[in-house]
Structure 1
Amino acid sequence: MKRLPPLPALYTFLVTAQHCNFTRAGQQLHITQGAVSRQIGALEAHLGYALFQRQARGLSLTREGQDWLPRVQQVFALVEQGVREVGGHRATLQLKAPTCVMRWLLPRLMEWQALRPDVPVELTTTVQHGVDFRREGFDAAVVYGSLPNHGLQVRKLFDEQLTPVCAPSLLEGALPLAQIDDLMRHMLLHPSRDEHDWRLWLQAAGATFAAQGPKQHFETLDMAMAMASQGTGVAIGDWSLIGDDLHGGRLCMPFGLKVTTGKGYYLVSQAKHLPAGLVELMDWLQARANRDPL
């Protein structure tokens, strides 16, 4: 089997073929014109045929040189791709997520980082529920709403399911929560000013009253959950996001009814050239969402 030509000589051939001029090739390679000529001559001697026709006005590729050029271009394109993709395994992935999903997402990212320290993730939180990859430099994002359909790679995490939650101490107090109408005697904690979530749940529960009693509004779901865990009142929460709080005893569900809103949480990224580490992270988070005991 004939010995393969040296890689540096092939790269010199590639640059020289682009310029068809030893001098300009030497300038790009930061070597002399004579050094380029000697490397090409040695490569031709190794192959056993000429790659260039030497003419008074410059160089031109021989038939063999023309056959070699696309093959050498492909070799170095693969090398460049390997450098880019393999190096990407250690690049920090930029992830964006709304604050409402932090109660679920942050512990999972900490678990991922312990399992895969070679694929670090930097998390940016926001009150926004979407992402614009054309203007924002994120590798992936968790978005809330309807199923995204804009040419993105999408992993569904879970559906939104609304249910009242409160601190266990509230159930043990003087005002029981045995039936829906008992909510009238407690402060209702709203994660938004439009009170949409509470109205939706009360309607589905067949409540005989509107959410017009004592109330307090918050800017985020996480703030409402934090106040509920302190026994301040009853919040309307997303059951899909508070599994850790329920299992840890910080929150409890006074009623079993969960109302699906038709919205959900999705992990999305641009649908091209995803680093292997990002694909692994997205698949892992989706698998965790599917198997978490909620």
Structure 2
Amino acid sequence: MIKSSEFPSTRALRTFMAVASTMSFSKAAIQLSVSQGAVSKQIAALEQQLGQPLFHRHINGINLTKAGERYLPKVAEALQLIQTSTANLIQTDMTRDVLSVNVTPSFASLWLIEHIELFSNQHPNLQISIKIGDGPVKSSRNDCDVYIRCLPLSKHHEHAHLLMQESLQLVGSNTLLIDNPLQTVQDLNRHTLIPQITRPQLWEMFTKEHQLAHTPRYGKIGYEHFYMSLEGVKSHQGLALLPNFMLTNTLLSTQLNNPLGLSMHSPYGYYLIAPNYKRGIDKVHRFEQWLNATLQPVHP
């Protein structure tokens, strides 16, 4: 087992990184604000400690040895981890409890970021960490307190509580609808429909529910997430189906429109996922209560 005194110093590893990124002892010295001799000394000591050379020295310059090539990505990853962990610790108020929330990209960008300050103001002693994720949540994971996912409606999702059923609203940009107005459902045939590539069946359900007589025209560009489809609508690429609660009244009045007031309940819902032992924790319980009270859909 390697003794702690035998581990390379952070200074030596940073010097190795600088030399490897510049392939020059002199340029690394400038980058680190030390002398070239100090850089050479650090690298020589590191190579001696490792028992093998990290650089080939040539008259025309240097290059990494095979050992250096294997060592470099591991050192870079380790230094990045140290830097990230240190910054997180410095930025975290240790006197506060931390609520860690993992949500889908669209839920975060189109709703949570706009509203989370309301929850934060109600709980000044709570620090909130928001992360992005998608797909199933494994029961063995415990890196976050709460997960929010959009899942098929079911009573059998493990550790899941239904926050709300998804209701989708047909929207287009004001500019697009002025140039090509919607007066009846059949006018949809004159418009391009933006595909939602992870759930393409939503358009089929929508056109069937509203009895569209002809085959609709789908766009060549589809998007994985609703926040991407929203940007496509703003760019006048076509019409999209977007969750009601992600559409603010301001957005609908200034940029978007649903002239026919068409919407549809989808077979999906937004679930809060947390193990029972975590849902009993006060911060999680309060966050769930706040979500239930605040998640109000915008009506067309």
2:192 matches 1:209? no
With the length of structure 2 as denominator, give the TM-score of the two structures.
Answer: 0.61
Matched to 1:251, the amino acid is L
* Matched residue, 2:12: none
Backbone CA RMSD of aligned residues = 2.6
* Matched residue, 2:268: 263
Q: 1:107 aligns with which of 90, 105, 114?
A: 114
* Matched residue, 1:184: 189
With the length of structure 1 as denominator, give the TM-score of the two structures.
Answer: 0.62
Aligned with 2:246: secondary structure? coil
> Is the CA contact 2:150–2:268 (under 8 Å) kept in the aligned structure 1?
yes
Q: 2:125 aligns with which of 118, 121, 126?
A: 118
* Matched residue, 2:229: 224
Shift of 1:122: 0.9
Q: 1:287 aligns with which of 287, 290, 293?
A: 293
Q: 1:138 aligns with which of 140, 144, 147?
A: 144
Instruction: Provide the rounded CA distance (Å) in 2 between the counterparts of 1:223 and 1:239.
Output: 15
> Is the CA contact 2:191–2:217 (under 8 Å) kept in the aligned structure 1?
no
Instruction: Provide the rounded CA distance (Å) in 2 between the counterparts of 1:219 and 1:293.
Output: 22
Instruction: Provide the rounded CA distance (Å) in 1 between the counterparts of 2:218 and 2:160.
Output: 44
- The structure-2 alpha-carbon separation of the partners of 1:193 and 1:157, relative to structure 1 and needing over 3 Å to count, comes to closer
* Matched residue, 2:73: none
> Is the CA contact 2:219–2:238 (under 8 Å) kept in the aligned structure 1?
no
- The structure-2 alpha-carbon separation of the partners of 1:258 and 1:150, relative to structure 1 and needing over 3 Å to count, comes to closer
Q: Deviations over 1:80-139 (max 9, x none)?
A: xxxxxxx9992221111112322122212132223323212111112x243224124110
Matched to 2:284, the amino acid is L
Shift of 1:243: 3.5
Identity %: 20
Q: Deviations over 1:166-190 (max 9, x none)?
A: 11222222x2111222222222112
Instruction: Provide the rounded CA distance (Å) in 1 between the counterparts of 2:190 and 2:168.
Output: 20
Shift of 1:159: 1.2
Q: Give runs of aligned pairs for residues 38-53 of structure 1, distance below 5 A.
A: none
Shift of 1:150: 5.0
Task: Structure 1: state its 5+ residue gaps.
Answer: 1-86
Q: How many matched pairs?
A: 204
Shift of 1:217: 0.6
Matched to 1:113, the amino acid is S
